Structure 1
């Protein structure tokens, strides 16, 4: 399935390690029909030497969905990009932004920004073997350098290899001295650097990532750029996604409610348990922000986080989560499970 990046990539959910697995993406797709969804980063080594199906299997409902690869060897990237296309992904994205030391030891992620020709070679190798778009996600710089010319030359070199789309995290990546979490918070955001890239490369699709948490911010960035990628706010406050189709894609507002989305996830959890023996908590963890900001949200999260209930059918857990609490809000006391009939 091919997609129009100018539409699907207009607003997207970022690749986030340990979070944006296929169960999370299924949940997010219930909330937005049009936003582009990304996998967690999958390394070329994991695909070449590991279980391809475990890493690449996804639900058909997730489209449009992009596979993010981590790697630096052009031949390996081409091999894995071909896997991605064969499995049905709509885009292959190369990670040139992750600052973790583990990723640096593999000579990929943000440290690749120092080797733009190697990135260009990898992009070309992938484009030579796939027909889906190949994109690059990167930072505006590495360590404490603030040179616009650095990121300009990186984008220029990689675009000459055929990459037309760049997703730019508007912070530097400090390769030493900061944790991945600190790298999302300590280096200053410099949106103007990304805006300048778009002005200098008007023919390229430029999307922005970093520190964007409100609809107003998304709208402002879309006035300057081609797309916006939202990270942790989309995960922690997922109900925001339910407004995206109308606000950013010009589509009719969805008719879903928080309860209908939760119920659909219950059906999905039950199907996963039947087909794969997967316990519901491994899926439910992704929807714990669904009632963010509502009265009773804390207790609702406590119920869905309670592994002592993992032997119950998820429909029973949902009933418990919505039952009045005799002990009051904020306590862990739970009512006795009701007896429900289910197949």
Structure 2
């Protein structure tokens, strides 16, 4: 069933891809739902032309679609997840379909139902721009089921033609949406690469300071993590780094920074962040950690660097540890900086917590 999923997107990244795709087309998706529902109501004028009078008996079926439309807009106002919005949006389209069927039941002339149902396919095509291919395939196919079920009591004069016309349109729409989704994959991967380049230090592959835009509350210096009760900062500085540059050259210094960044990232947890803070300084942000664990991670990093056979010339680091108090990340950086300089002034190659000073 891999045909329903973009081949260039890893399985563990699909949700992120589908959400990005929905975010990109969300306005289109919302307006398609609204316009289809408003068009459903406006067809009351056509109904009156068919009846040759005010067709009050179909006014309620035509207007009933405004209820599911309102529920969708309410959900969309508070939630922007691709899965919930896609399912509810498609259900509103099917509600519009059944309001049409409800109206057709009263009409003296049902010749226009065939064309109306074909038009609905293109409404689903528009929704499919934002929807995952696998979901669209299922939710769009129910349109054909709607026709089959309603034929049991309406008995369309051109039922077989409605199906034979609808099936190739359905398949053609699937192929078109597959092509468009593959085109969006290129857009998504390009944006992802640009985003990575903007937040990643190109030398060490650690994050740079631009990552702060993603982890701070907008316009503040406060971290936007789910829990800020147990966040610790490590400020890591390479001992005698200027001497290394002067003795061995800046190229050797760059290789040491690359190796140190790699060692840091090897020794932290999946949810922790490693940033190149500037020059030979790195910052590690530990989430959901106690003081003891923060100290242990700091020691593990220090030991892996000082005892590494792959780093030449041999280097050591000094590490300052501090707790984020929940208001301003600068406080944690400044506290860690105090502890780090204490480590440097008292022998280097050690991990010091500001709380122990």
What TM-score does the superposition give when structure 1 sets the normalisation length? 0.30
Name whichever structure is richer in helix by fraction: 2
What TM-score does the superposition give when structure 2 sets the normalisation length? 0.29
Name whichever structure is richer in strand by fraction: 1
